[in-house]
Structure 1
Amino acid sequence: MDTGNNSMNQECIKKLQIATREKLRKFNSLRGKEVQPGEFWDLVIVTAVDESQRDAYELQITEKVDRKELPLGVHYIVFSDPPGAKIGNGGSTLYALQRLNDIYGKTLGSFRVILIHAGGWSQRLPNASALGKIFTALPLGDPLYQMLELKLAMYVDFPSQMKPGVLVTCADDIEIYSVAEDESVRFNKPGFTALAHPSPLSTGTTHGVFVLEPHEKSGSSEMEDISCLHFLHKPSINKMRDSGAVCKRHDGCFSLTDTEFVYTDSTYYVDYATAMSLLDLLKEVGPLECEIDAYGDFLQALGPKATIAYTNNTANVTKEESTLVEIRRKIFNHLRGTPLNVVLLNNSQFYHIGTTSEYLHHLTEDAELRSELGLLSSAFSVYPNQPPEGAAAAVCCVMYSVLDPSCSVAPRSVVEYCRLEAGVTVGNGSILSGCWVGSSLSVPDRVFMHSLCVNHRDRTGFVTVVFGIDDNLKHGVEAPAYIEGLKLFGVSLAECLPRWELGNEVLRFSGEASSCSLWNACLFPVCADQQSSFSKSLEMLQAVLGGSTLSLPKDTKLMSMHESLQCKNLEEMLKFRKGLYNDIMQRRSSS
């Protein structure tokens, strides 16, 4: 082991911890208080996929402001994408700018704006589907943080160092960084200014990678400002080498021990003049009919070495539309020559929390993140049996929940927004979200269970979806192959249905169902109350895992995760959370 490098790495981690705690302290001092001009963002904009999601976001932000969990005197606005085709976060950026210009006109030229992309249905982290990724709970803060608070906290220093313009970021990642005492991250240059993080070459294959102007020492200080020649989107390692994106590590405070590395993307800033230029671009391309990526499709057009060649590369596109290449060419021609400045954050960490596996890992096993943010095993909860902090490498994580003293939650599991009655046990590596679990029930290992309130036949009902942590909800199979091709807990639906005494003809798929998936498979019973919903879905899981059979009443309505979201009852779901909040506060005051 290189003890010099190891001690240097420990020093860098300590700097990250100190810098992060200071940002959290600063943000906490602003919560529930009227902010002064220039002290915080003028506008906090959140994007949503449609009007239903926008309503859900607005409802939650209003509650946060009323409970003084956010800085006051700030405009918090949610914009939904226009109806019709999916437009991606790039399209959302363009339409949000248009809406802001319509509302504020030239006054927008004096505002510092943060634009957080939070649209989408979070199919890889479905406990965030109903109420949004930006409202994912995190085990820190009092009142409890969600991703919205953490994003605002990590960027709390930016507004005072920023010329009017827009900072563009996403809802499911966390950037942690430190800079020297006499340095600060500044957004004061024309064009685009992106944050860049040192990353292994393997990480670069799934992110954006910067090809920088030649400079002597990468990583010689905690922060460097530099121009970018070219931006690569999810390149191969050979492409990184051929393009000159690969850097070699030098001494200095550095969050990475790899000898070779690349700088990858996260968040970027657009100055006001360039933001207005993007509005002209929207007029030029007209109503969008395809998905545009705010990173790949905008940033690849920037820098002196950018070429139009990328516009034909659709290898990384989820759904290729006929108009995509043409729109990319218009973007390239419109943005060509626009500067791309990069702030190298050499002592930084980038964390993505967009899948169930990442969520479990970062909240229960990731010692670095837990240390940097000060994450707890139990946050804003009634859980008498919580393990002592630092007691084990892996812990459970209980948030915003009320648990009977006789309950037990195994390590590597997350329980959020739940009520667990006497004798409940939760196995290893599982997620419970929004559930009311009746006495003495036992949840197996590596299971995802999430209860939603739905409107059904003019009544309020409850659906508890249950999947394996490793199940792929997005994987689509065309009929009739779905019966064998779709697997729940590793068991094909051909084996599951008989165990629930359901025939193949009973199974339906919600929505267009041109492609059948676990996401739109109607498998989960609608029940009259939250407790019976949970216990019934748990019985279905136990029948599959144990090889037994379960008979559902003949008039049982079965719903999919997709359909449950279409008819979700937000007010009732938030009412359940409010009941937990009041219970926790009452027990706190009486203890």
Structure 2
Amino acid sequence: MLNTGLDQGALALLEQGYRNNWQQYVASLNGARARIPPWDICVLTASNERQAEAYQAQLEARRESGLLPTDTQFEVIPDPNGLRIGSGGATLRVLSVLAQELCAHHPDFEKPFAGRRILMIHSGGDSKRLPHCSAIGKLFARVPHQLPDGRPSSLFDELLVSFSGLPGQVPPGILVASGDTLVLFDHLQLTLASSGVVGVAAAAPADVGTHHGVYVTQGSSRRVHGFLHKPSMERMRADGALQPDGRVQIDTGLVWFDPHTANRALSLAESLAELISQGVTINLYGDILAPLAQTADYATYLADTSDGPATLALQQVRRMVWETMRRTPFTVEVLHPAVFVHFGTTREYLDVLREGVRLFGSCGWRGQTTSWVPPAALVKAGERLLTVNSYVRGGTLSAGCLLDSLLETRLELEGEALLAHVTTEREALTLRSGVALDQIPLHRPPGWVTRLFGLADDPKRSLDDGGTFLNLPWQEWLGAANVSADDLWPGAEHSSQRTLWEAKLYPLCGTREESLDLAAWMQAPETAPSELVARWRDARRLSLGESYVRADVRRLVREEAEIEDRVRARHFCAGVEREQPASDLAQLLGAPRDRARRARLVGDWLEASLDPWLPMRGYKALEVATHERRWEDRAFSSLARLVRAHTRPPSPARLGDGLAQRRIR
């Protein structure tokens, strides 16, 4: 659960801080008219070329909509040759790539980063523990927050807003951020004026510190006395990391390098280039920052296994880091008030979203965000339902979470469930409690895959190590489905490979509905029709890992935009039904570049309305909202049809009587 430890006064400060950040973000979209300096460069790291392409698709969609700062250069830099080089290796690689680019245009080989403000967001990774984010990237995971301009938000959007005000008050340098962590704070809290490396911390419960970095300071000093990487409770207690209230100063993932230190790290990157090209994994926090602390011990550092085995190659890396970076000043700035939110497993993600809605309602988090849910269904579901950028026709909704889904169906949720990127027009769709369902369009080869898994499943855990599928032990589900392990893991050479991530469970199909049929039965294999199971056996099946690397992310991004259009248009129509003022409805159509497209959807809905008076009111509202004369013309045409429909032509007999009366007069 999300535990902020903040009172209402601190939460009010966070709300004001968000307003400050938002104002700076909006100003950054105005380019040269902005009164603050922008980030010169924003870099997203990616684990491979495919993920880099996915991130480019997300950035392009935002750029085309005018939602990226115009004076900031955005780049995506993947790990080399498909190797996984870790956050530290990725940091060094980004420095090398940027130095080459900057020196090519401004040949100052000694000071390539001087005078520049650079934002680097680490966003590589497969999101194995959050599978529905694998294709789009955890960086673009949805957040139940409707941005002030009406858009549904994502982790990337929240980070961009949070960091928009920093370039105006911090010196040149490089800010590194983690792409799976959301830090809510006011940018006015940070100065980052110290030389060397500056870490950024926030108070969090001690048990959270066992999975992250923890800063240790002495008294009022900002010097980092110790930096503990994923420490045990005993280690935190022994090293003085625990504060009187039982909390610790957790590493938020934000790290600042001044230009001089960035140049020193660049020389380290050149020295380690060969090892990095061989795929040695280097952790930014445990391998590069840890030895900068005052109490760091050389032997302990070399032998540290908190993030994996201390291989000979890694120890060679650590020796070079120690020699190059050890004397770098290392200080920490502490954010307060602030909230540290880490997006980990599927279950943790849902807990964070639900608790976030409860705690951050004053900051704009809502249970229904840019979504259309029939009022009757919403009343039944109450606060247990979370929706972001989703459209639902109706059904029985309970403690579910719907993300980027278009559900022209009667949706039956038997308990807490997650749907992401699901589109269907079938008569009914039922999901059992504790289940997650997502759909992925593929482009190599073209087709569809619907993936089903449990909210409590750990896709990285093997069958022999207590792994589960649909929250059941693997052996229990395999027995109920009459499926063998060899059916799911053909050719597996070791039991450790028999994980949910590698299980060939999900048929590749030609249509969305077929793929949904061949996945939904797995919820209840004991009652599944034999014909359906036979089709599943005969189909070409992919694993979670195989399906996400084939995802057509550009199509996913387009569909997200189409759902938002549909939702906004439906809310406009609902406003017309309630006879709201047209001027109030105009904002539902969004920015000028989006209005015509969404207005057409409203027009189609009005044409199909059974209420004869509704089209006239709706067209008039569209004319006010879009300032397009054609909608007023359609309103008059609709009125004319109504007049004709309600005006009965006189019968010949009555017409004759009228003529006779006129002759008598």
TM-score by length of 1: 0.86
Work out which of the two has the higher radius of gyration on C-alpha atoms and give 1 or 2: 2
* Counterparts in 2 of 1:206 and 1:157: CA distance versus 1, 3 Å: same
- Per mean C-alpha deviation after superposition, the further-off stretch among 557-566 and 422-431 is 422-431
Which residue number corresponds to residue 218 of structure 1? none
Which residue number corresponds to residue 402 of structure 1? 391
Are 1:212 and 2:217 an aligned pair?
yes
* Counterparts in 2 of 1:381 and 1:327: CA distance versus 1, 3 Å: same
* Counterparts in 2 of 1:425 and 1:109: CA distance versus 1, 3 Å: same
Which residue number corresponds to residue 272 of structure 2? 285
The 5-angstrom pairing of residues 59-74 of structure 1 reads 59-74=57-72
Which residue number corresponds to residue 356 of structure 1? 346
Describe the superposition over 1:37-93 as per-residue Cα deviations: whole angstroms up to 9, x where unpaired: 743211111000001110111111011110112222211110001015421011000
Describe the superposition over 1:495-549 as per-residue Cα deviations: whole angstroms up to 9, x where unpaired: 43455454554333589876221001101112211122123211122225x5875
The 5-angstrom pairing of residues 460-539 of structure 1 reads 460-477=446-463, 486-497=467-478, 499-500=480-481, 502-508=483-489, 515-539=497-521
8 Å contact from structure 2 (residues 43, 77) kept in 1: yes
Are 1:110 and 2:115 an aligned pair?
yes
Q: Where in structure 1 are there 5+ consecutive unaligned residues?
A: 1-5, 216-224, 249-258
User: What percent of counterpart residues are identical?
Assistant: 25
8 Å contact from structure 1 (residues 476, 515) kept in 2: yes
- Per mean C-alpha deviation after superposition, the further-off stretch among 188-197 and 95-104 is 188-197
TM-score by length of 2: 0.77
Describe the superposition over 1:254-291 as per-residue Cα deviations: whole angstroms up to 9, x where unpaired: xxxxx243211111111111011111111222321321
Which amino acid counterpart does residue 517 of structure 1 have in structure 2?
A: T
Are 1:196 and 2:189 an aligned pair?
no
Distance across 2 between alignment mates of 1:322 and 1:108:
32
Distance across 2 between alignment mates of 1:297 and 1:373:
36
1:156 shift after superposition: 2.3
Distance across 1 between alignment mates of 2:547 and 2:491:
10
SS of the equivalent of 1:451 reads strand
1:397 shift after superposition: 1.5
Distance across 1 between alignment mates of 2:246 and 2:522:
50
2:136 to 111, 124, 131: 131
Which residue number corresponds to residue 235 of structure 1? 231
Which residue number corresponds to residue 305 of structure 2? 315
1:493 shift after superposition: 3.9
Distance across 1 between alignment mates of 2:139 and 2:203:
25
Q: Where in structure 2 are there 5+ consecutive unaligned residues?
A: 573-598, 603-617, 619-665
SS of the equivalent of 1:92 reads helix
SS of the equivalent of 2:284 reads coil
SS of the equivalent of 2:20 reads helix
2:296 to 306, 309, 316: 306
Distance across 1 between alignment mates of 2:351 and 2:270:
44
The 5-angstrom pairing of residues 122-201 of structure 1 reads 122-139=127-144, 140-141=146-147, 142-178=150-186, 184-201=189-206
Distance across 2 between alignment mates of 1:204 and 1:158:
26
* Counterparts in 2 of 1:585 and 1:11: CA distance versus 1, 3 Å: closer
Distance across 1 between alignment mates of 2:376 and 2:170:
43
* Counterparts in 2 of 1:517 and 1:430: CA distance versus 1, 3 Å: same
* Counterparts in 2 of 1:320 and 1:523: CA distance versus 1, 3 Å: farther
The 5-angstrom pairing of residues 48-63 of structure 1 reads 48-63=46-61
8 Å contact from structure 2 (residues 183, 339) kept in 1: yes
8 Å contact from structure 1 (residues 192, 271) kept in 2: yes
Which residue number corresponds to residue 636 of structure 2? none
Which amino acid counterpart does residue 555 of structure 1 have in structure 2?
A: D
2:336 to 327, 334, 346: 346
2:361 to 339, 347, 371: 371
Are 1:333 and 2:323 an aligned pair?
yes
Distance across 1 between alignment mates of 2:90 and 2:35:
27
* Counterparts in 2 of 1:387 and 1:539: CA distance versus 1, 3 Å: closer
- Per mean C-alpha deviation after superposition, the further-off stretch among 96-105 and 395-404 is 395-404
1:123 shift after superposition: 0.6
Task: Determine which structure has the larger helix proportion and give its number.
Answer: 2
The 5-angstrom pairing of residues 377-416 of structure 1 reads 377-385=367-375, 394-404=383-393, 406-411=394-399, 413-416=400-403
* Counterparts in 2 of 1:201 and 1:555: CA distance versus 1, 3 Å: closer
* Counterparts in 2 of 1:29 and 1:150: CA distance versus 1, 3 Å: same
8 Å contact from structure 1 (residues 212, 227) kept in 2: yes
Which amino acid counterpart does residue 65 of structure 1 have in structure 2?
A: R
Alpha-carbon RMSD across the aligned residues, in angstroms, is 2.8
